[in-house]
Amino acid sequence: MPDISREQFLDRCFLELIDELEGNCGILVLFDPGENAFTEVSSAGYDDSGFFYEFMARGEGYFEELSESPEPLLFSSEEFPLYHPDSTLALAVRIFREKMLGFLLVEFPGGVQESLLALAMQFFSERISGFGSDSSRPKPLSIRENSGDLLVSSALLLSQVKDWEHRVSRGIAVKTLCLRSKEGSGERSVTKYLFHSLALQGDLVFLSQIPEQLVKLERYLGEWIEIARSGFLVFDRVEEFSPGQQKLFTEILASQPPSHFVFMTRVAENPREEYPLFWKQVRENEIFLPELPSLEREIRKDLLEKLISESMALHSRKGLHLPDGTLELLLEKSEELMYDDMKSILELAVIQSRNDELSIDVLNKLFTSKQNSLILLDDDNLDLRKSVEVLERQKILKAMKIFSGNQMRMAKALGISRGSLQYKMRQFGLS
């Protein structure tokens, strides 16, 4: 990454965002600890005197509402004074990481798809929420019991590993960590939990494929390290790496790069061929994740309750209540399902439940359906095809929440036919 300041980097990113979204103008505001106040760090589309959004001033109510809302706020030009004469609305999205860090507000002309713009702005706010944090030291490794934390279930799963704190601390110190598990055991969720708990100065990047050609791989590794900085570079199915690839990784790690390398390996799958120095380092820092069915009943019950709460919070359905027998049904199914499958089914059940309770009928249908898996893809994954699928899925999920599942209104907002929408919903297991 070029040697630029935090403010320059954020300013460049924000200007590119407004340009891509074709906004009329906008501001990026962040909290300045030195001034103990929220200050503007980037703006575009205003004259030299700028513009003050009075309705976003602290104490006026809307700033406080935004600080408590994970959803964007919409301000119509008919009700609120906007800057640009062609603007019909403004969208404001908070920047949040354990507390309110700031917000971005962008004005748009008429005829725009509000839900898609809001989604893009939310992605942007999430990506920059951890950039340039004041703390240069990792947070202590501990299980956070905050009910609003969407990764608490992952923390509970990790806590079942003996001496996990010591293993993780040692791995972080040498910037090499290995998660060994049966596929679908929650390895990606645990990786995300560790990344956010450590509050590293960088990004989390998943890589499901790497180039076979060593010259190309070496070049890409340099680029990926620039992207991740001091964050996580996560590599899947490491046992499939060739000896040449293993040797290159060994040399890169010996050069002490800023990034932390997380290697995922599968139980009962041995490397095709081993480069001994590589596997020695990987196995010295290995964490074995247990399968969901292998956990004690009380642990599974606690885990299921946390997964349910997370799914409701993630999809803005916190008001759902559990009918009698729901937890018993889930406990029974958890004796045979993997963590990712259970998490996926619970998310789908929350999305598809149409009243104020988590539908047992929907759950039973999902348990018996061939397509019972919500496509759990990561927006941190650099696989282009999968990233496009992630965006498509997120757009549909956002529309489902905004329009309460009304397919006519969803299709109109997404700019596609109802038939195309239904096809995509079936493709992603959302119908």
Given this model, what pLDDT does residue 325 score? 92
Q: State phi, psi for 107 to the nearest 5 degrees.
A: -95, 145
**Residue 337 banded pLDDT, cuts 50, 70, 90:** very high
Given this model, what pLDDT does residue 383 score? 52
β-pairing, 204-207 vs 176-181, is unpaired
Pull the structure tokens for residue 381. 């994954």
Class of domain 161-289: alpha beta
Taking domain 6-128, whether its CATH number is 3.30.450.40 is answered by: yes
Given this model, what pLDDT does residue 250 score? 95
**Residue 251 banded pLDDT, cuts 50, 70, 90:** very high
Domain spans of the chain?
A: 6-128, 161-289, 294-427
Query: How far apart, in whole angstroms, are the C-alpha atoms of residue 425 and residue 412?
Result: 15
Q: Residue range 321-345: average pLDDT?
A: 93
254 Cα distance to chain centroid: 30
Q: Which residues have a Cβ under 8 Å from the Cβ of 377 and sit 6 or more positions away?
A: 386, 387, 389, 390, 393
**Residue 387 banded pLDDT, cuts 50, 70, 90:** low
Neighbour tally for 145: CB within 10 Å: 10
Given this model, what pLDDT does residue 134 score? 41
Of 96, 85, 92, 102, whose CA–CA distance to 29 is shortest?
A: 102
Is the pLDDT reported for residue 155 higher than 60?
yes
- Distances in Å between the alpha carbon of 37 and those of 93, 131, 257? 18, 18, 36
- Distances in Å between the alpha carbon of 150 and those of 43, 276, 327, 358, 380? 32, 38, 20, 18, 16
Given this model, what pLDDT does residue 390 score? 65
Question: Secondary structure of 171-231 in the HEC alphabet?
Answer: HHHHCEEEEEECCCCCHHHHHHHHHHHHCCCECEEEECCCCCCHHHHHHHHHHHHHHHECC
- Distances in Å between the alpha carbon of 73 and those of 44, 67, 119, 421? 20, 10, 12, 26
Percent of the chain clearing pLDDT 70 (strictly above)? 87
Q: What is the pLDDT of residues 158-200, one digit of tens each?
A: 999 988 888 898 899 899 999 999 989 999 999 999 998 888 8
pTM exceeds 0.85, yes or no: no
Q: What is the mean pLDDT of the chain?
A: 83
Percent of the chain clearing pLDDT 90 (strictly above)? 38
Helix 243-254 to helix 276-284 angle (10° resolution) is: 60
Q: What is the pLDDT of residues 351-366, one digit of tens each?
A: 888 788 898 888 988 8
